[in-house]
Amino acid sequence: MASHRKSRTPGPRVAGIRTPALATAALTSVALLSQTADASPGEDRPSLEEVEKKVGDLYRQAESATEKYNAAKEKTTKQRKRVDTLLDDVAKRTQKLNEARSELGSYAAAQYRTGAGMPDTATFLLAETPQDIFDQRQVLDRMTGRQKAAVDDYVTQQTETMKKRQEATESLRTLTETQGDLKTAKATVQKKLADARGLLSKLTAEEKARLAAIEKRKQEEAARKAAELARQQAEQEQAREEAAQQGGGTSDGSGSTGSTGTPPADSSYGTKAEKALAFARAQIGKPYVWGATGPGSYDCSGLTQAAWKAAGVSLPRTTYDQVNAGTTVPVSQARPGDLVFFYDDVTHVGIYIGNGMMIHAPKPGTYVREESIYYDGDSAIHSIVRPA
């Protein structure tokens, strides 16, 4: 209970933890204030550093659950298609099996009308498995060529039908499991957002103002770092051009050379990147919605996937897979179109537009926007990946 919570001495900011925008910071502020509402008069209220850390944890958990939801949804969709294909195949094979059974039945009926003893073909109709049929070699020896051909067809159809039914059963079991994962991830995200709405409803005007001032200072610092990166990249570009003119390297027109150790972003990459960025810019102002892939709303990986799809490049659905869908380059060598990933667990991504800036879908309650890649500090950046 809150009344038993002991105060803690503020500690340094943990590397890799997001420092969100005002709405996010406000969220944890309310959580902490509500936790200490019943505390004894002499007990210290939580510091803003504690507020900041807890709110970062909350939204990162929501982002992580969103990416798990995206992965489960993608897997469920693929598995459902596989099940549908297998069930359709089973239906077709069952029809063929019935046709083969009907042909064997006609032979059995003919044998019965002629007064033969146990109808040979009827023996196969009574068999429950292909093995039962193969065990009756002596019956096969007494059959005519046409009868044997009918039996062979029946055995083939029965074997394949049983095989496909087994595959369909296994696929249905897997589908049930992935649907369970999807349901769990969805419930987790919904709970985080419900908690956020409940906490935000208790926020006071004074707390909003205090946290807004902190957020403004962070945005200013992020802008300063973006400007510094832009200056460094401009100097590097100038140096490369001068080296190319003097015969010291070959510029590819996109800011990288073979002598830098960074894989070149050739002219074709530049063309694709322009298309991806044009698409991303057109989405600015659209709301962040977890699990969304457009066209009216997006989550972070849904936006980057859609942007590069517009450029003819197919990216995986989740941040966990997108981070492996290209070549990693240093932050100093980032080029427009590159993907910028955040946090140790790779739960957020944006698309670099140059000058230390990116376009991304930040989090619930926000909209697609341009922002410094340092919006949550240097340590939040996980990697830069060139996807094509």
Distance of alpha carbon 46 from the chain centroid: 35
β-strands 369-372, 381-386: how paired? unpaired
* Peptide bond before residue 330 is cis, with ω within 30 degrees of 0: no
SS3 367: strand
Measured distance CA(20)–CA(278) in Å, rounded: 26
Q: Is there a catalytic annotation at residue 326?
A: no
Measured distance CA(298)–CA(309) in Å, rounded: 14
Q: Point out the catalytic residue in the list 53, 218, 335, 348.
A: 348
> In the chain, how many H helices and how many E strands?
10, 6
* Residue 155, token pair as written in the block: 């055995």
Q: Point out the catalytic residue in the list 360, 363, 382, 386.
A: 360
Q: Is there a catalytic annotation at residue 360?
A: yes
- Count the residues in the chain: 388
Q: Is there a catalytic annotation at residue 348?
A: yes
Please list the residues that pair with 42 across neighbouring strands. none
Residue 26 in contact with residue 203, Cβ under 8 Å? yes
Contacts by 46-49, CB closer than 8 A, 24 or more apart: 46/7, 46/8, 47/10, 48/210, 48/211, 48/214, 49/10, 49/11, 49/13
* Residue 359, token pair as written in the block: 């376009």
Q: Point out the catalytic residue in the list 300, 307, 353, 368.
A: 300
Which residues 6+ apart lie within 8 Å of 61 measured at CB?
Answer: 188, 192
Task: List for the chain the helix, strand, coil content (%; round to 5).
Answer: 60, 10, 30
State phi, psi for 274 to the nearest 5 degrees. -60, -40
Measured distance CA(316)–CA(321) in Å, rounded: 6
Residue 229 in contact with residue 331, Cβ under 8 Å? yes
Which sequence positions are flagged as catalytic?
Answer: 300, 348, 360
